[in-house]
Amino acid sequence: MRWMMKRISMFLVLMLALLARYSYALDLPDDALRLLAEASVDPCVICVKQKLEKAFTTMNVRFSPGLVINSDDKCRLVKLDTGDDNELSMSCYPTDTLKKSLKEGEELPQFIFRFYTPEKRLVGICENDYTNKTIADLYHASKPGTVFEGRIKLIPYKYGDGPTYNYLLQTNRLLVHCVVLQLNPMIH
């Protein structure tokens, strides 16, 4: 009996660990994004550094390599109008609550999921983390503003500000590196 309880306990722990690797698009670290907004307008260099460090600490936990993010009916992936940069954003970002939390002059960072292909690569991104050609072709054939149901997986980037992302303070852009696992255009 005791042996069986141990096995069940181990199974439950394993299942919880596996489930923790999935997230939905609305599960963003609002506190960290608010800190980035504050840092983008703070004139105090030391304060900016402290706010960025605090935001990065939170994002390092939330945006770990291997995390799979699924879109859902409340939040879809959207092709950005940035040319040919393999960039997606989310239809639900920023949330109304997050926007209302800003002080005068603060702006939330542009939140971007960037993926890579053999034709559009980045030093430090492993070839195994490239999005497959079929998905990339579907993305490129779609117009800017196209809304997708999809699934992405965050990938490691050793030259980032965190394990899977870069924050560009000058342009207030948060680039989260990913591989697109699934992408289906939504038909209205």
Residue with tokens 């390092």: 60
* pLDDT number for residue 69: 95
* pLDDT number for residue 85: 83
- Residue 1 CA to residue 148 CA, distance in Å, equals 49
Q: What is the mean pLDDT of residues 141-165?
A: 96
- Kind of pairing, strands 77-79 and 68-70? unpaired
* pLDDT number for residue 84: 66
Q: What is the mean pLDDT of residues 167-176?
A: 94
Q: Is residue 125 part of a domain?
A: yes
Six-digit token string for 161: 């500000």
Q: Is residue 101 part of a domain?
A: yes
Give residue 37's domain range: 23-185
Q: Is residue 9 part of a domain?
A: no
Rounding to the nearest 10 degrees, give the CA dihedral for residues 53, 56, 58, 61: -130
Element (H, E) at 57: helix 45-62
Residue-wise pLDDT for 87-122, tens only, equals 999 999 999 999 999 999 999 999 999 999 999 989
Residue-wise pLDDT for 56-73, tens only, equals 999 999 999 999 999 998
* pLDDT number for residue 1: 54
Q: What is the mean pLDDT of residues 77-86?
A: 86
How many domains is the chain partitioned into structurally? Answer: 1
Contact yes or no for 63/28 (Cβ under 8 A): no
- Kind of pairing, strands 173-185 and 110-115? parallel
Q: Is residue 7 part of a domain?
A: no
Per DSSP, 179 falls in state: E
Range list of β-strands (E), 107-172: 110-115, 147-154, 165-168
Contact yes or no for 152/87 (Cβ under 8 A): no
Q: What is the mean pLDDT of residues 69-89?
A: 90
Contact yes or no for 42/106 (Cβ under 8 A): no
Range list of β-strands (E), 37-126: 68-70, 77-79, 87-90, 110-115
Residue-wise pLDDT for 1-50, tens only, equals 554 444 544 443 344 344 445 555 557 899 999 999 999 999 999 999 99
Q: Is residue 28 part of a domain?
A: yes
Q: Is residue 71 part of a domain?
A: yes
Q: Is residue 17 part of a domain?
A: no
Six-digit token string for 130: 């490239």
Q: Is residue 177 part of a domain?
A: yes
How remote is the C-alpha of 158 from its chain's centroid?
16
Question: CB atoms < 10 A from the CB of 45, how many?
Answer: 8
